[in-house]
Structure 1
Amino acid sequence: MYKTLGTHNYYVYILTNKTKTVLYIGITNELKERLYYHQNPEANSKAFTAKYKCFYLVYWEHYNDANTAIDRETQLKKWRRDKKDALINEFNPDWRFLNTEI
């Protein structure tokens, strides 16, 4: 079944580890489900988030268009760490872990 125009959901999100020293930027159309898979990696997973224990959501943006979301993810990944930190600080000044709020 096809979704009607404007009902698609895409999320660009940033995860961090418990000590907030590592950032991971990703994109998904099911943020809650994706967070679950990050927090419950397969055994012996070589995924970045599993290796660096980036399970904690600190930032997200919502888009209705996949290409716009992909472009934004690409843009954020090119940013220096200080610029990413400033973005998170503006959205989530205390760097609270937002996993349960999604």
Structure 2
Amino acid sequence: MSTPRELLTEEQRAFFQCAISARDGRRCFYCRRNFRRRPMRRKTFDHYVPHRYWPGWDLDNLVLACERCNLAKADSLPWPLVWLLLATFTQDRWELTA
């Protein structure tokens, strides 16, 4: 999680966790392992697009991830998003016009 835990109240954390679980299921967004079957697997909030690029706590940008996947992703952009960005910007858009 990019922002310290103290900035979210327990009510906010519970709301986010319920809303994200209802949307994505009770699985880690990245490895798809079930949180129910492994109660010791620690759930964390992760900003799909890193917080430094998209600051805030929008539900559109939050996912549940196990601690290992969240730490492995760190502040990098997810590959599907990178591929989408690269496909969107073609070479002629990068050329400078004089």
Q: How does the TM-score come out when normalised to structure 2?
A: 0.25
Bigger strand share = 1
Q: How does the TM-score come out when normalised to structure 1?
A: 0.24
Decide which structure has the larger Cα Rg and report it: 2
